[in-house]
A = this chain, B = another copy of it.
Amino acid sequence: MAISDVKALTFDVFGTVVNWRDSIAREAKAILGPKGYDKDWHDFADRWRARYQPAMAKVRNGERPWTRLDDLHRENLLELLPEFGISGLSEAEIDHLNRAWHRLDPWPDTVEGLTRLKRKYVLATLSNGNVSLMVNMAKYGGLPWDAILGAEVARAYKPQPEAYDRTAQFLDLKPVQCMMVAAHNGDLLAARGRGFHTAFVSRPQEHGPNKTRDIRAEHDFDVVADSFIDLAAKLGC
């Protein structure tokens, strides 16, 4: 089928829709700075994020049962804090810091681009973030999703095939009627392997000055764009 058959766009969120690195650094500084901690908060964000894939890997490979990303993030945070010499936080303070992932800023083009894309397409999250994380982030950032889908409702973390398959099934669409939108080559390759159309949106600032991968589209994806506004224009929205 052709791109004209696409009915729904399914979105990676962390890095593609929102700027997690600067947002987490800002939140960590705002919460921990007043407690007297003066750290490299971007390094704090990077090292928290570095624990993301290893934590999900244990769920993917069956080493542990299904666990929501909020809970993985919290476990990772509890390991991270002593590495930075941070201690003495209350449970409520740890929860609030952990929910910094619910308060991530959209990239400057995100809301305008999504608003244009929504006129023509169903917009659904296909993130590894859990439902409440996605819902709260959407409220915070004004993200106009039509549906919150992805890992938690599919009970599978990307890039497992079930994450893509079940998202299309919930939308009652064939995979080719879906287009995965992501800033990460691996996510798009996995989606394409399940029959999805693919759109690469470059996010060169995702890792700040440290970005060494996903600088550009490394495969012949159906669309390559440098913002959601560019994506909307290329899809005729």
Q: Which residues of A contact B (CB under 8 A)?
A: 70, 122, 124, 130-132, 135-136, 138-139, 145-149, 152-153, 170-173
Contact = CB atoms under 8 A, between A and B. Distances in A.
A43 B183 CA distance: 52
A94 to B, nearest CB: 15
Contact of A172 (B132, B148, B171): B132
Nearest to A70: B172
B147 A135 contact: yes
A178 to B, nearest CB: 12
A126 to B, nearest CB: 13
Q: Name which of A130, A135, A146 has the most chain B CB atoms within 10 A of its CB.
A: A135
Contacts of A139: 122, 146
A129 to B, nearest CB: 12
Given A135-B147, A146-B148, 11 more contacts: A122-B136, A130-B170, A130-B172, A131-B149, A131-B171, A132-B171, A132-B173, A138-B146, A145-B146, A147-B148, A153-B170
Contacts of A171: 131-132, 135
A135 B8 CA distance: 11
